[in-house]
């Protein structure tokens, strides 16, 4: 029933289609780079390409002024031939845009899974067991909640980006994509765990849970069979919302050079690369910025449609509020 309501929501389905098209395009990044014959992570200062039948260097001297330094070629609008131009190292912006998008989406998706798994576990434990368990978990969540999101993310990144992190037998190096996944996943745990805890506290007093306790069912079975299915709707609605938030956070950290590290790229690092070219080759920074905005917008619109499909009364509730 919920799927039918979502399917009839044309705006939400268009938003989902747009995001899936972005994901598919980014997934084809290696194929595009091979087809275009370009090296997205290697400087190509001396390369010469053919544009409209004429040879043109990828990095050219300015034709006016003091002729100091080189200016990268602008967009050729020829797919596979520096479609969006080059950056200040002569690298194909289109190829880097696809590779960077792939990393941004992977990090956002993995961080979302990380957040939901740990936040759900903490919320279930705190809400169901109560007492000392609830007190300890809630206070830890309150401490994380007290820090502004980006301040906490930047602080963790600055500390961990130079030395990595070791948790038991697991080691995450400073240049690994797992590091921003871990940092972003941790900072958003309270924002999911607290609503889950509140919902579990309410379910804990419901008749079917009390009946299961009375029949002698184990706490783990009650949590798995009775409580978790009833909070799954909330978790599903959180997926596109968290994806959008994580994508923005990752882009911000990478823009500040404390997220994705070279030679890897993300949309945030590409925007940083385009800072010095804003007045000569603005497409280097504008293209990834546009992709971030389009991805986040599509995820938010789809998230609204998903919420309305899973909870038809949500519009009425919001309207009365």
In the chain, where the domains are located: 97-265
CA nearest 236: which of 116, 317, 141, 316? 116
Q: Express each pLDDT in 196-238 by its tens digit.
A: 999 999 998 888 888 988 888 888 898 888 899 989 988 999 9
Q: What is the model's pLDDT at position 183?
A: 94
pLDDT in tens, 96-121: 999 999 999 999 999 999 999 999 99
H helices of the chain, in order, are 2-8, 10-27, 29-36, 93-129, 131-146, 149-160, 178-187, 189-204, 207-214, 219-222, 228-255, 267-273, 283-310, 314-320
Q: Which residues contact 20 (CB under 8 A, 6 or more apart)?
A: none
Q: Residue 73 above 50 pLDDT? A: yes
pLDDT tens, position by position, 31-44: 999 999 999 999 88
246 is written with which tokens? 């994580």
The predicted structure's pLDDT at residue 26: 97
**Model pTM score:** 0.91
pLDDT-derived band of residue 78, with 50, 70 and 90 as boundaries?
very high
> Is pLDDT above 60 for 65?
no
pLDDT of residue 318 exceeding 60, the answer is no
pLDDT at 320: 33
Averaged pLDDT of the chain:
89
Looking at the domain covering 97-265, what would its CATH class be? mainly alpha
Average pLDDT of the segment spanning 313-321:
41
CA distance 7 to 309: 9
- Alpha-carbon gap, residue 172 to 214, rounded angstroms: 46
């Amino acid at each position: 029933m919920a799927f039918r309501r979502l399917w009839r929501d044309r705006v939400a389905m268009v938003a989902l289609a747009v995001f899936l098209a972005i994901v598919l395009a980014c997934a084809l990044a290696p194929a595009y780079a091979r087809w275009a014959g370009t090296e997205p992570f290697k400087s190509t200062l001396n390369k010469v390409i053919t544009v409209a039948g004429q040879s043109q260097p990828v990095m050219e001297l300015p034709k006016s002024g003091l002729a100091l330094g080189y200016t990268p070629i602008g967009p050729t609008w020829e797919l596979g031939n520096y479609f969006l131009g080059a950056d200040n190292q002569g690298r194909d912006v289109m190829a880097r845009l696809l590779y960077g998008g792939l990393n941004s989406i992977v990090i956002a998706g993995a961080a979302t899974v990380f957040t939901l798994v740990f936040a759900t576990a903490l919320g279930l434990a705190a809400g169901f067991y109560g007492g000392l368990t609830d007190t300890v978990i809630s206070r830890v969540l309150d401490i994380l909640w007290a820090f502004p999101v980006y301040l906490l993310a930047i602080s963790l990144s600055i500390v961990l980006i130079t030395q990595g992190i070791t948790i038991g037998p697991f080691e995450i190096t400073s240049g690994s994509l797992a590091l921003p996944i871990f940092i972003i996943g941790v900072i958003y745990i309270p924002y999911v765990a607290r609503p889950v805890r509140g919902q579990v506290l309410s379910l804990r007093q419901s008749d079917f849970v009390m009946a299961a306790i009375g029949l002698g069912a184990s706490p783990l079975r009650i949590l798995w069979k009775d409580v978790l299915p009833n909070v799954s709707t909330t978790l599903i609605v959180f997926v596109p919302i968290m994806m959008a938030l994580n994508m923005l956070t990752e882009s911000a950290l990478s823009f500040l050079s404390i997220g994705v590290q070279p030679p890897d790229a993300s949309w945030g690092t590409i925007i940083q690369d385009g800072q010095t070219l804003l007045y000569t080759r603005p497409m280097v920074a504008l293209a990834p910025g546009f992709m971030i905005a389009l991805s986040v917008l599509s995820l938010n619109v789809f998230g609204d449609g998903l919420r309305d499909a899973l909870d038809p009364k949500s519009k009425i509730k919001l309207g009365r509020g």
